[in-house]
A and B are shown apart, each in its own frame.
Chain A
Amino acid sequence: MTRLFSLLFILVSTMAAQSPVKADLLGLTNELDTAIQSGDWIKAAELSRVLKAAAEDVRNRSMASAGREQGDSILLWLPTDTETLLVAQQPFQIAINDQAKAVSAIEMAQGFVLGLLDAAEKGKLSKDLVGRTLRLAVFGARRFGEEPEDQHAAEQRGALGMIPYQGCAIYSFAEPLAQPILSRPPDDTILGHPAWVSKGSQSDQPDRDEYFVSMLQPDLMLVCNSRAFFQEMAARIGLSPQQRALPADLPEWKLVDRSVPLWGITHYRNSMIVDSLAPGRGSLGAVGLTVEFGLDDDMVLARMIAKSDPWKGVVNSPDFHGAARSSETAGGIWELRIAGKPDAAGFAAFVLMAELGFVILL
């Protein structure tokens, strides 16, 4: 184990110093080859784990700055009344769902960011993209809990799963996708963007929503669950609008570290939803929330601006297995810190995504 960490440390240190990365990676492949050839599978298993982590780290570093710049420009495309923004800026691969594997909190959060892609085209599109690497994913949403366009509240009653919302996600792939992405011709053209349209749902109510998929560039995919949101985004692409979603003077921006692998921010328009999420909250006076996933040791951090402690009824939940701690870090800023613990990871993502608006009804 010590050897494993030493190798990784040397590798990361040399990369940080901009020393030859290729030589280090190639050196590891040689060591692994020797272990395999000699039938030393204990050593080979250890080395291949190190090599995998090192290769992912090199990839992430090579893509980091471009991804951040792209994220800033996509923020300008979002409608001005966007309430929640999620940005996954550490590259990751789209993979098939394997429930037998314990997943980390950041992997759970990445799963939420892929929610629209998974729901569109009845899941066929995301299945076709398994193995592809995403450089960046940006997910904007609004109107949580409001009924979808052209539907009546009565149809919503009793639906379990994700509550209704309007949203769009931009998926930036590390490499261009083979065109066309779907075998049939686009179903529509919206403001000049060819779009594939399908019915689907993120709840147990079949075909609740309409999904729109469009390729803005060969490596840039737009997926929305609302025609209106799609149109508003499409109209803003390439422009430098005077007003933007979640403006820079919102107090929440001071609370989030935008360099972390996955972060999110919300500025509440409908604080009644957040009031109802945990027992004993009463009227929180919640203004906004920031979340950070993928911190050291898979720790998760959330900060809410509110009049009273929003985490009081949540922090001692048995589903956190003692991993959660809360504190008031400044006047009216309430922090929830969830230590990286495998049996708390899923619940951390579930709770914080709900606080961001993505409430799953059980």
Chain B
Amino acid sequence: MRLPWWLTFLPACLAAQTAVPADPAHLLRDLRTAIQDDSFVTAAELAGKLDEAVQQRYGAWLIRDADQRIDEALAWLPADTESVWVNQQSFTIRPEQGIDLLWARPSEAYSVDRLAALDDGRFYRALGDRKVRLVVAGARNIRGTVLASVPAPVSAQDVAYVFFFAGPIDLAAPDESIQGRPVWHAIAKIDAGEAPQPVNKRAQRDDENWLALTRPDVMILTNRRALLAEVLERTAMGSKTRAMPANLPEWAYVDRNASFWGLRHYTDGSKAKPGEPSFGAADLPHHPDGKAVGTAVRFDAVKQQLEVVFLSPAPLLRRKGEADPIGHEFQLDQPEAGVWRLTSDVRARGPFPVHFALIMLGFGMYR
């Protein structure tokens, strides 16, 4: 994601207060008193706090059934899914704001970056002003990327997103039907993923994606037609298996109440092989060691606190000074053997640690 460079240098800008909102009933009572007393300055201040409290309640109401919806999505995703994350902080799609302005809201950016890129934003614009209640994303066939940057390109071969909207959505006439569900085909121009060359403009390639509606308010987005067919079959016929089964050890470190959470269970194909540099010590975020088990992530988007748990009996590869992202961006501890915990205050550090965590989950920016 390209940072709007001038934003970070501007003087302190005004924005919403983020103190814990008070009870709407109390605020309403105080607001009425202020209006009756002609105290319009106080009234405006109270109306602002009241709005913040009401919007927070509205957000909580939107995800009242989050547990059921997430379980539903896990049942739709294939059993060989390696990684899943959930963004359950509702948001409104604002195509006029541009994806670059989401740099300070990384969980939202990762939720919509692929959608926004499709057909030069055609679908993103069509969904403008729609409220997204929650997003569940899954990935499989996760492999390393040529460019070991932070943020990184998408390293998963197969990805699928499930968008739960607050109401039915309307899209143009579908291109085809799979399992009786309307399906749209879309292309995004993305970075070809080659190593950067000085001066030359980065090469791009066409990336195919498919969209489908499983219900009037539930949309699937995936980059593989076969994966879409698999997901739609599971939505229609049900399934006895699910993504990320409950006996995976990573679940013990997942907080399903967090506004953003995720887990990844490493396959043999995604771990370092004997003889590779990171086989004996994990080089995070890109290269898990040969004995790595998995990762769990939780991010509180209100408090901007991030926690990444990396399960591995191996040590972590550390570098010196600024070249060590773990030391520079995180607090590191080991609460028990084989468990590495990295925590970060994103409000102080900026979005870098979130990008780091998403790479560990096998995701990257879709650019």
- Chain A residues packing against B (C-beta within 8 Å): 22, 25-26, 29, 32-33, 36, 39, 41-42, 44-45, 48-49, 51-52, 54-56, 58-59, 62-63, 91-103, 107-108, 110-112, 114-115, 118, 126, 130-131, 133, 160-162, 174-175, 202, 319, 321, 341-343, 346-347, 349-350, 360, 362
Contacts and interface: CB of A to CB of B under 8 A. Distances in A.
B191 to A, nearest CB: 18
Contacts of A41: 54, 57-58, 61-62
A343 B98 contact: yes
A342 B24 CA distance: 30
Contacts of B246: none
Most A C-beta atoms less than 10 A away, residue of B5, B51, B96: B51
Given A29-B35, A41-B61, A102-B101, A115 B11 contact: yes
B317 interface: no
B14 A93 contact: yes
A319 B4 contact: yes
Given A22-B36, A52-B51, A133 B41 contact: yes
Given A32-B54, A55-B43, A94-B14, 9 more contacts: A22-B38, A41-B54, A48-B55, A55-B48, A91-B41, A95-B15, A162-B11, A202-B11, A360-B9
Contacts of B41: 59, 63, 91, 133, 174-175
B50 A52 contact: yes
Given A42-B58, A52-B48, A362 B13 contact: no
A350 B6 contact: yes
Nearest to A24: B35
Interface residues on B, range: 35 or more
A206 to B, nearest CB: 16
A174 to B, nearest CB: 4
Contacts of A112: 10-11
B100 A97 contact: no
10 contacts: A26-B36, A55-B43, A98-B17, A102-B101, A111-B10, A111-B12, A111-B13, A131-B17, A161-B9, A319-B4
A243 B115 CA distance: 60
B322 interface: no
B14 to A, nearest CB: 5
A202 to B, nearest CB: 7
Closest 4 CB pairs of A and B: A98-B15, A55-B47, A343-B98, A48-B54
Interface string B27-56: 010011001101011011111101100110
B200 interface: no
Given A29-B35, A48-B50, A101-B16, A362 B6 contact: yes
A29 B15 contact: no
Contact of A36 (B25, B35, B45): B25
Nearest to A175: B41
A208 B254 CA distance: 47
A44 B177 CA distance: 38
A36 B28 CA distance: 10
A216 B71 CA distance: 62
B195 interface: no
Nearest to A204: B9
Given A55-B44, A343-B100, A22 B50 contact: no
B93 to A, nearest CB: 13
Contacts of B97: 102, 342-343
Contacts of B48: 52, 55-56, 93
Contact of B13 (A32, A55, A108, A131): A108
Interface string B111-153: 0000000000000000000000000000000000000000000
A51 B47 contact: yes
A130 to B, nearest CB: 7
Contacts of A126: 12
Contact of A343 (B14, B17, B61, B101): B101
Most A C-beta atoms less than 10 A away, residue of B25, B28, B43: B43
A323 B55 CA distance: 30
B108 to A, nearest CB: 9
A130 B51 contact: no
A42 B13 CA distance: 29
Contact of B18 (A26, A48, A56, A98): A98
B55 A45 contact: yes
Interface in B51-92: 51, 54-55, 57-58, 61-62
Nearest to A49: B51
Contacts of B100: 343
Contacts of B51: 48-49, 51-52
A29 B31 contact: yes
Contacts of A102: 94, 97, 101
Contacts of A94: 14
A145 to B, nearest CB: 17
B104 interface: yes
B58 A25 contact: no
